[in-house]
Amino acid sequence: MPAVDIPVSQEPADALASVAALRRMADQLEDAAVEQAMRAGWSWPQVAEALGVTRQAVHKKHAKRLIAAGVTLRRR
Amino acid sequence: MTVFHKYVRTILEQGAVEAQRDGSAAIEAHHLLLAIASVEGTDAHRVLVSAGLDRAAIRAALDREFAHSLASAGVSAAAFGLPPASPGPKPAADMGASARLAFERGFKYGAPRSLRPAHVLLGILQAQFGTVPRALALAGVDRDGLAAAVRQELADETA
């Protein structure tokens, strides 16, 4: 497999801005991916295990938003 | 409650809505900047509009900064094909570090009784690092020149 050319900047300001943007991107992706999984009938323990966090953590972070969005949530 | 306190409350409420739209748990400085650009009839709004920075222009600059910073790490926001997440049920309630710094810096520029909306904008423009200065730079905005225009507006008001 050919090496992928990733244009990582050498400038500290660019590198730090990339970290901030990647965190925001990861948060947005987590919201979208958890919602997609729950809409597809995944349970909280399954989503938590896939993310590598506790069930309580994923529930606390996403339950209110998904309930407000009308997603039918499986308890187990 | 003074006119300025009401303005700060309005900016925080509007900033919270901007944060919610962003999927952000906290109000950050760039959400305050979007809020300032959304509330018409203030000195801060006048300076932004005079510089060609209405809400849409600021939103576009922020989106560009996000894409640019991701690209620096070899990531494309468009590469993930997931449908966007539903927004949270309530606007963000907390202020992030960048928003706190913006208020702290802005409040240093005026005596408590003389604070104006432009002081909040000045506080945001003092940041040398972070999302706002990078977005403005990428949009070709002279941040120091914009801050000078805010100071001039404040000087004209008190003259």
B86: in domain? no
Strands (E), chain B: 26-27, 94-95
B81: in domain? no
pLDDT range class, residue A76, cuts 50, 70, 90: low
Alpha carbon distance B151, A73 (integer Å): 53
B83: in domain? no
Across the interface, whether the CB atoms of B82 and A7 are under 8 A apart is answered no
Alpha carbon distance B74, A9 (integer Å): 10
Instruction: Report the share of chain B in percent with pLDDT over 70.
Output: 100
B100: in domain? yes
Instruction: Count the domains in chain B.
Output: 1
Across the interface, whether the CB atoms of B71 and A35 are under 8 A apart is answered no
Is residue B154 within 8 A of residue B43, CB to CB? The reply is: yes
B82: in domain? no
Measuring CA to CA, which residue among B32, B16, B44 is closest to residue B132?
B32
pLDDT digits (tens, 9 = 90+) for B47-93: 999 999 999 999 999 999 999 999 999 999 888 788 889 988 888 88
What pLDDT, on a 0 to 100 scale, did the predictor assign at position A1? 46
Across the interface, whether the CB atoms of B85 and A17 are under 8 A apart is answered no
Across the interface, whether the CB atoms of B129 and A18 are under 8 A apart is answered no
pLDDT digits (tens, 9 = 90+) for A18-59: 999 999 999 999 999 999 999 999 999 999 999 999 999 999
Average pLDDT, chain B: 94
Q: Mention every residue, 6+ apart, whose C-beta is less than 8 A from residue B136.
A: B61, B143, B146
B113: in domain? yes
In this structure, what CATH number is given to the domain that contains residue B120? Answer: 1.10.1780.10
What pLDDT, on a 0 to 100 scale, did the predictor assign at position B80? 79
Kindly state the average pLDDT of the residues B35-49. 97
| Residues of B with Cβ-Cβ distance to A13 under 8 angstroms | 129, 134
ipTM: 0.88
Across the interface, whether the CB atoms of B70 and A18 are under 8 A apart is answered yes
Supply the range of the domain harboring residue B109.
3-75+91-158
- Residue B77 DSSP SS3: helix
Is residue B47 within 8 A of residue B41, CB to CB? The reply is: no
| Residues of A with Cβ-Cβ distance to B84 under 8 angstroms | 28, 32
pLDDT digits (tens, 9 = 90+) for A4-13: 455 556 789 9
Kindly state the average pLDDT of the residues B8-21. 96
Residue in B23, B25, B83 nearest the CB of A36: B83
The tokens describing B121, both together, are 């904008």
B85: in domain? no
